[in-house]
Structure 1
Amino acid sequence: MTLLQWFIFFLAVQVIHFLGTWKLYEKAGRKRWEAAVPVYNAVVLMQIINRPKWWTILLFIPVVNLIMFPVVWVQTLRAFGKRSSTDTILGIVTLGLYIYAINYNDKVTYTPEGEEERKDSTVGSLLFAIVVATIVHTYVMQPFTIPTASLEKTLLVGDFLFVSKFNYGARTPMTTIAAPMVHDTIPVINTKSYSNWPQLPYFRLPGFEKVEKNDIVVFNWPIDTVVKFRDNSGRRVRKPVDKKSNYVKRCVGTPGDNLSIKDGVVLINGKELKLSGRAKLQHIYFVTTKDGSMLDPNYLIGELQINRSDIGYDSSQNKYIFRALTDENAEILKTNPLVKSVERYKFNYDPANPGTSIFPHSKPEWTQDNMGPIYIPEEGKTVELNKETLPFYKMIITDYEHNTLEDIGGQILINGQPATSYTFKQNYYWMMGDNRHNSEDSRYWGFVPEDHIVGKPVFVWMSLDENKKPRWDRFFITVGGDDEPVSYFKYFLGALVLYIGFSFFRNRRNKAEKA
């Protein structure tokens, strides 16, 4: 949506507002022209309905304003005596147009609510509570559930997180019309939760830190470009950036880095990347036992804490297949007297079966364990474009930075003009899972644009195992840090008990004083 289109849309809203409210402004003792001045008319309306002037700001916050408009419609109706449930329902289902009927009804008088009446407005209070929750969800903290084992040992399947929006700076919604506090789908009815039009440009509020190597990051999956829903013509519709699926991975490469992977080891600018203390890499391992011996399941699951679903066994070869085994546990198994050998699986290039599943999908010799070097784009930096480099940056040029790209007989055209180089408009990152052989990450689809960054997980508030039983030791633990996670759940319970006790005795004392 262009700037001119937004201006016309904003002007149309102001005209609709003026035509439907100017008489109400006059009945409230204001001037007719005050209903026509953009922004100022909203400030005056807040005074008319006896609400704080700062509510005006909420009318211009994307998504939040979708809830604030019904709140203001209801409060406007109530200020002019229309306080029945029927009036409230009519105001909302007609998208505020019911106010037109009130505006041109000469019998309507201005009867603003008193303090007690405002407190009794259940619908208004409920809508405003949703507004507050939406602001927190969008700009402060968002709940998130770990769906896969790609960060196993640090974050487990069944962990319920709080994701901070303010660490990296909250991203303002690009999708302006959407159901609050849900992602791309409305639960139960399983339908699309948003409208593709209109869209706002990318903007991020200031944060107090940047995405660094080793950070665990929640982001929108870059290649999730097509929705599962279709429009009225049956065509599949492209997803807006902020409605793409949420992924969580570890950042291993930041803008300007040169990244390589050698035998599964990540190298940044030629040096091995040192992970944080809590990070525990896992790989596929083959463990062969002696004379058909079987390893004790309680030892594997209880002591070594290996997930039951990650254990396979080939009886014909006396061989265990561990789909996600830490290097630490691999060393422990080597010392087990029942174990004959421990071998880590390696994804090696097979000339007989070349594939292009690995980014940039033009190098069949690259594998999950051996690839690179890859330059991670930095905003303002320029790269040369040719047959060799174009596959790395084609999606950036077209999908992420919205240019047209053609390759005609070896000549590269960007927006119809010949190009031998390209300058990046934003920063990019390389994200990977700690469960290296069981993680769909940047090795398969490439860079994560900065405008796809959602936030930083900071807190696990609840954790359930595969049987939906609580993992009490993971309740109220922090996500970051080098030390072993510590549960603060008992401290939370203690504070909650103290608060309940204090509230009980305070209320009891207040009742005694009134008596």
Structure 2
Amino acid sequence: MTITAWFMFFLFLQLVHFAGTWKLYQKAGRQAWEALVPVYNAVILMKIINRPWWWVILLFIPIVNLIMFPVIWVETARSFGKNSTTDTWLTLLTLGLYLYYINYALDVTHIKDRSLKPGTATGEWVSSILFAIVAATLVHTYIMQPYVIPTSSLEKSLLVGDFLFVSKFHYGARAPMTAIAAPMVHDTIPGLGIKSYLNKPQLPYLRFPALQKIKRNDIVVFNWPTDTVRYFGDYRSRGIRKPIDKKSNYVKRCVGIPGDSLSIKDGYVYINGKRTQLPDRAKTQYSYIVKTNGSELSRAYMYQRFGVTDYFGRMQDGSYRFTSLTEESAARLKKSPNVVSVERIVQPAGRPHPRIFPNTRDNTWSGDNFGPIYIPEAGKTVVLNREILPRYKRIIQEYENNTLEVRGDQIFINGKQADSYTFKQDYYWMMGDNRDNSEDSRYWGYVPHNHIVGKPVFIWMSWDSQGGKVRWDRVFTTVGGPGEPVSYLKYFLIVIGGWIVFSFIRKKKKKNS
């Protein structure tokens, strides 16, 4: 929906509210017109139902408002004496339309100073749960979101089994675009395998001001741009076009920012002609062919000695193919007495690689030899021709919502012939440190700014599935920063212990006073 369409829908809701409550406003000692004025009517309603004014803010926060609307309907009915279980269910099941019946058919009296304490233990329990969900949804949506690392694409920096806190506010919290969705879950309801949202209506894109811009080599969580097909239960859904904020969450390293020229030579990334220097915690990994003198290199040995978590195993000629060796580990392995040679595998350019971006049949770039390619910046213009167009086709059509047509050598955008294009938003180039075990921008291209989710800042738990144990040295460590990760777990435990002791002493003093 466009902004204009949303404005008209908002005005329609105001009319619905006015028609169903204006008499109730009068019975509460207010004027009928106060039920019609947008926002002001909500402030007055909070006074009528004896609730704080800041509840109005919650009514305008997507997803949170889906919880708050039923609460407001029930609170309004109870403010006029309709507080039985039957009244509550009628209010909820009619989506608030029961208030029309109260407004027009019943002679009710406003209870100005009604008790806000639930009449039953069940009511108190439900109230507590609702507002716990509201608070958690606010934190999850606008401040901090938990995330777990599922793959080894950022191996060494982030390990499989790391549980992260992802900051939403560093790069600017993005307001939900999907208006109707289950709170605190992503695209699927756990255990049921069904969609957790409705595709329509969609809210306009809105992002709050950022504390910082995305810098080169930042680790970033984002919505996977090409995620349009997913599985729900036993039914394979094809052609599903997911809303942006319901696409799968990916985490990669941002190796290229808007305005950069990027190329990859023999697996090394070059930005604006210079080989990129990764932070000291980042450990790039490549694939290697390792030949031995006949000795076996077991998976357990490679994991314990060199930290290798992935390899293809032994090949027919007796050599081994490893997919996640750092150059330092490869150098150490080469010195092993049982190893004859260690050779890095490099995909050459020059052969057709349609799986590599821009995914054309005649593309000859490879995952190790790629580009150069320009990373689009908002407001900048590029020349368009049939040769260049495949690099920006998805941007023009999918991410910036234009019509695109090619007739012979001519390009038409929104029905007009075009030999250039000006970008509407910034784009980024995301890659994994585990170069040959990463589904990244080399395969599907640019990440639009409106797909950015947040910045991983903290590892609160780390589970080693291979070893079947907690990685205590990674618990409560920061994601960024120089040097080896430092665990702050003991300081956290000291703070928690101090708070428990303080609370116990305070309660004991209150009891004795």
| Structures share fold, TM-score greater than 0.5 | yes
Equivalent residue for 2:283, pick from 259, 280, 285? 280
Amino acid at match of 1:252: V
- 8 Å CA contact 2:2, 2:204 repeated in 1: no
Structure 2 partner of 1:294: 296
Q: Structure 1, residues 339-381: CA drift from partner, whole Å, max 9, x if none?
A: 1111111112474xx3311111235321000010000001111
Correspondence 1:6 to 2:6: yes
- 8 Å CA contact 2:287, 2:324 repeated in 1: yes
Structure 2 partner of 1:206: 209
Structure 2 partner of 1:463: 462
Q: Structure 1, residues 294-315: CA drift from partner, whole Å, max 9, x if none?
A: 34665422232222x436223x
Correspondence 1:378 to 2:381: no
Q: Structure 1, residues 123-146: CA drift from partner, whole Å, max 9, x if none?
A: 333222211111111111111111
1:1-80 alignment runs, 5 A limit: 1-80=1-80
Structure 2 partner of 1:476: 476
The CA distance in 2 between the partners of 1:49 and 1:116, in whole Å, is: 9
Give 1:490 deviation, angstroms: 1.7
Give 1:14 deviation, angstroms: 1.0
Structure 2 partner of 1:131: 134
What's the C-alpha RMSD, in Å, of the aligned pairs?
2.0
Structure 2 partner of 1:390: 389
Change (3 A) 1:286 1:442: same
Give 1:101 deviation, angstroms: 2.2
- What TM-score results when the alignment is normalised by the length of structure 1? 0.94
Correspondence 1:159 to 2:162: yes
Give 1:219 deviation, angstroms: 0.5
The CA distance in 2 between the partners of 1:463 and 1:252, in whole Å, is: 25
The CA distance in 2 between the partners of 1:265 and 1:257, in whole Å, is: 16
1:318-329 alignment runs, 5 A limit: 318-329=318-329
Correspondence 1:313 to 2:352: no
Change (3 A) 1:506 1:98: same
Per mean C-alpha deviation after superposition, the further-off stretch among 242-251 and 183-192 is 183-192
Structure 2 partner of 1:420: 419
Correspondence 1:242 to 2:245: yes
- 8 Å CA contact 2:177, 2:204 repeated in 1: yes
Equivalent residue for 1:361, pick from 359, 362, 368? 359
Question: Which runs of no fewer than 5 residues in structure 2 stay unpaired?
Answer: none
Q: Structure 1, residues 369-409: CA drift from partner, whole Å, max 9, x if none?
A: 00100000011111010011101000000000000000011
- 8 Å CA contact 2:193, 2:232 repeated in 1: no
SS in structure 2 at match of 1:355 = coil
The CA distance in 1 between the partners of 2:80 and 2:129, in whole Å, is: 21
Give 1:481 deviation, angstroms: 1.1
Correspondence 1:343 to 2:343: yes
SS in structure 1 at match of 2:387 = coil
Structure 1 partner of 2:183: 180
Q: Structure 1, residues 18-74: CA drift from partner, whole Å, max 9, x if none?
A: 121112111211111111111111000001111111211211121121111112112
Structure 1 partner of 2:272: 269
SS in structure 2 at match of 1:464 = strand
Amino acid at match of 1:205: F
Amino acid at match of 2:141: T
The CA distance in 1 between the partners of 2:475 and 2:210, in whole Å, is: 27
Give 1:227 deviation, angstroms: 5.0
The CA distance in 2 between the partners of 1:113 and 1:83, in whole Å, is: 14
- 8 Å CA contact 1:293, 1:318 repeated in 2: no
The CA distance in 2 between the partners of 1:43 and 1:349, in whole Å, is: 64
The CA distance in 1 between the partners of 2:312 and 2:327, in whole Å, is: 15
The CA distance in 2 between the partners of 1:85 and 1:492, in whole Å, is: 45
The CA distance in 1 between the partners of 2:115 and 2:455, in whole Å, is: 41
Question: Which runs of no fewer than 5 residues in structure 1 stay unpaired?
Answer: none
Give 1:157 deviation, angstroms: 1.1
- What TM-score results when the alignment is normalised by the length of structure 2? 0.94
Give 1:201 deviation, angstroms: 1.9
Q: Structure 1, residues 404-449: CA drift from partner, whole Å, max 9, x if none?
A: 0000111100001000000000010000000000101000000000
Structure 2 partner of 1:504: 504
- 8 Å CA contact 1:265, 1:369 repeated in 2: yes
The CA distance in 1 between the partners of 2:201 and 2:194, in whole Å, is: 19
Amino acid at match of 1:285: Y
Amino acid at match of 1:174: M
The CA distance in 2 between the partners of 1:237 and 1:150, in whole Å, is: 26
SS in structure 1 at match of 2:456 = strand
- 8 Å CA contact 2:229, 2:238 repeated in 1: no
The CA distance in 1 between the partners of 2:143 and 2:86, in whole Å, is: 36
